[in-house]
Chain A
């Protein structure tokens, strides 16, 4: 079996937060306790949509010590492949779903003398759990959270009410911008910075931190890539001897799974490396979108990460 262990849950609460973001709460079907987790962990939610199964990762935002329920927040993506639309439009309170055990690819460095959190939009969710974890142990933290507008500022009120001194909010439409160089300058030795948000924000923070002389190990980031739709393509799976079609709105990994072939995975967002697959033969172009393979590997056509990457061309043969 691939992926983390599974948990059968039912949806116990659905709260629309604003025009884009809705919060979902899950409890175990059998009434038992959910596993505790570490702040920054995600769960992979299985969505059964007719004969299509989508598995999307979402950061756990509830208190890691609370074993009665997990909560996630889902941002609606009208351009996406339909996972977030399914959650928003089809999932109802009382539905039974399957989620994975927590997996953490964005954990706190517990040695840090201070944790500096930088969030963009829905990227706030892993920090909500990390803040609860740090508060439990009197951790030293500070949050800088950029949102598009006041009405799209999910959890801004909760954060500013509970943590007025640690929380700093920036609204794009009011021309607020995080003064990053000044913020990084003057942080005490042993500070770690964490960024979760859009790709551009992550690159900006990583680049600025490097230029300011911050060590690589003190800069943490998480960007879940949702698989993007694309042109359909055909793939031959050499080990299982199958030819499969990858549809416009499904990922290569999902198409492999739909064909009944067990393929390893964890994050399904191009970060963890578990689904790395060897390319045996190809004629055409890869559309690599992962963070796992390096530039050379993206160029040499020997490997692909089927959770987020696609292919355009005549032949693709995979070692799967």
Chain B
């Protein structure tokens, strides 16, 4: 089962819902990996007639099923980075009334939400549904480098090498959680890493 119930947390931590179809002039759906299942759940032929799907499979086997929805425009690509220019173009061309649906990992949803917000859609109007990996995208507060797909707490910053603990404090603008040095007051005393939700 690819649905995960996140523990209750602080007010800055994003809360995800279940995608539902909304009225609108056009629909932009962006998903990665198991996020495809959420799109398959919400899609209807009427919606697909004015839909643009952007999908990053990350090794999951949903591409053919998604293609079978016959969206007006369908794209599958290797990474968010590869899809980013296409997403920006879609948003730049879009008109008020566009509905945005995001599904999959927190990292994918966060980055796509950020792109949609930059284009002028308030974050509360962007639908999200978490599916698949619970790995986090985390910014090191010290060096500002972002480490993707973090699964353990603490972890080592991929940029500066500091040992960071994982906070639930989240920035939509950075599409990242915050990582803070865990052994600043006792250098070298780093607890054994364990899963973030263990």
Contacts and interface: CB of A to CB of B under 8 A. Distances in A.
Indicate, yes or no, whether A interacts with B.
Answer: yes
Contacts of A218: 96, 122
Given A212-B23, A215-B125, A217-B125, A111 B97 contact: no
| Interface residue tally on B, bucketed by range | 10 to 19
A188 B95 CA distance: 5
Contacts of A1: none
Contacts of A18: none
A214 B25 CA distance: 10
Interface of A: 111-113, 184-191, 211-218
Contacts of A217: 122, 124-125
Contacts of A186: 95-96
Contacts of B125: 215-217
Interface in B105-124: 119-122, 124
B98 interface: yes
Q: B25, B97, B99: which has the most chain A beta carbons within 10 Å?
A: B97
Given A185-B25, A189-B91, A213 B122 contact: no
B24 interface: yes
9 contacts: A184-B96, A186-B96, A189-B95, A189-B96, A190-B119, A212-B97, A217-B122, A218-B96, A218-B122
A184 B124 CA distance: 20
A142 to B, nearest CB: 13
Interface string B1-32: 00000000000000000000011110000000
Contacts of B95: 185-189
Given A212-B23, A213-B22, A213-B24, A188 B96 contact: yes
A216 B122 CA distance: 9
Contacts of B156: none
Nearest to B94: A189
A296 to B, nearest CB: 22
Interface in B79-114: 91-92, 94-99
Given A185-B25, A189-B91, A213 B97 contact: yes
A186 B23 CA distance: 15
Contacts of B94: 189
A211 B97 CA distance: 9
